[in-house]
Amino acid sequence: MQFSFSTEVVDLDHQAPNRNKRESKYFWDEMYRLISAGGFCRIDIPYEPKWDFGGRSGIPRTKRSVDIKFGNTEGYLKFLAENGINGISSVHLDPTLFCRGSVGMFLGAAEHYGMEAIQFAAEAGAEAFILSATPTFYAVHRTLGETTETEFLKQMKDLVQRLADAAEEQGVKLCLKNEYWGLLRGEIISDFVKGMKDNVFLDVDTAHLSIAGTDVQKFIADNQKRIGSVTLTDTSFSDDGEAYKQVMPEFPAKSATWVFRDPGYGKLDLSAYADAALQAGFDGTFHLNCRNSASICRSILRARYYVDHSLNA
């Protein structure tokens, strides 16, 4: 089994003590060594142009930031290698940032930055470009205007196919991540991809599927030909308050909780899901994702402990 660790472990969006240093390059330069010390030699990168707009190029989450600080993607890879990271397994774009104004504006921006992220993924030698299948429910419904949800999804499908074709041309797999807060949460995505070309893959994100009420092992079996990446996320959360409709669905208004937990700290049997993926013929990288951790170093080490002691690696 191959593993990578997602730098989405670093929460940049929400308030926390000592959060500001996360905008400076030195913080990230050290982060790679910490991840490497945790036994992970490849990383998954969330692609977030949000930081480009604020001139935060110290945050290595876009092609622009990498070009500014390291000259180009090659320079970035060289720096990573010098600090214990041998490669980038995948790049994940959530286009929710662009979902405002109008559907047309959203689609234009999502395609522009989708193509940019694919280029970056290809330059980095990544296996997968992971794309959130839709923006959040809240963002879509705020933006729809006269457009129906059905029409929006049709346009989204066309966009996904164009991006998948572009990714394939550049040697990267497009994998759709269906977050529990998106329009295609849970099993709904299976119908969405039916009939699409076989260059459209799925990312099995275990916590998101579970929160959406999906039997993860059955989902893997039912979609085995489409599985392009597996993201091992843990959770203890049950969405009984329709948090998925909130502006910030990761923070359930009904009762505050840490939705995403480090591997082994939630209720999911990630080992069983990993086995199911292997049995389904998946031979790609398993991404360990401790999204938006409250304690980054602990998360890295907890993930390593889980890999060593609970996964049949």
How many Cβ atoms from other residues are within 10 Å of residue 292's Cβ?
Answer: 19
Burial 222-235 (b: 16+ CB within 10 A, else e): ebeebbbbbbbbbb
Nearest to 278 by CA among 227, 233, 234: 227
Segment contacting another protein (CB under 8 A): 198-206, 207-215, 216-224, 256-264? 256-264
Mark residues 274-313: x for contact with another protein by CB under 8 A, - for none. Answer: --------------------xx------------------
How many Cβ atoms from other residues are within 10 Å of residue 195's Cβ?
Answer: 8
| Binding flag, residue 15, another protein (CB under 8 A) | yes
Task: Compute how many residues bind another protein; rule: CB under 8 A.
Answer: 35
| Binding flag, residue 105, another protein (CB under 8 A) | no
Give the DSSP letter string of 196-230: S-TTEEEEEEHHHHHHTT--HHHHHHHTGGGEEEE
Mark residues 73-102: x for contact with another protein by CB under 8 A, - for none. Answer: ---------------------------x--
Segment contacting another protein (CB under 8 A): 51-59, 82-90, 151-159, 209-217? 51-59
Closer by beta carbon to another protein, 129 or else 137 = 137
Give the DSSP letter string of 65-89: HHHHHHSSHHHHHHHHHHTT--EEE
Among 26, 146, 148, 312, binds another protein (CB under 8 A): 26
Among 4, 6, 57, 206, binds another protein (CB under 8 A): 57
Are the C-beta atoms of 96 and 59 separated by less than 8 Å?
no
Segment contacting another protein (CB under 8 A): 56-64, 76-84, 143-151, 282-290? 56-64
Copy the structure tokens of residue 43.
Answer: 């990383």
By the criterion CB under 8 A, which residues form the site for another protein?
12-21, 23-27, 55-58, 68-69, 100, 138, 246-248, 250-251, 253, 255-258, 294-295
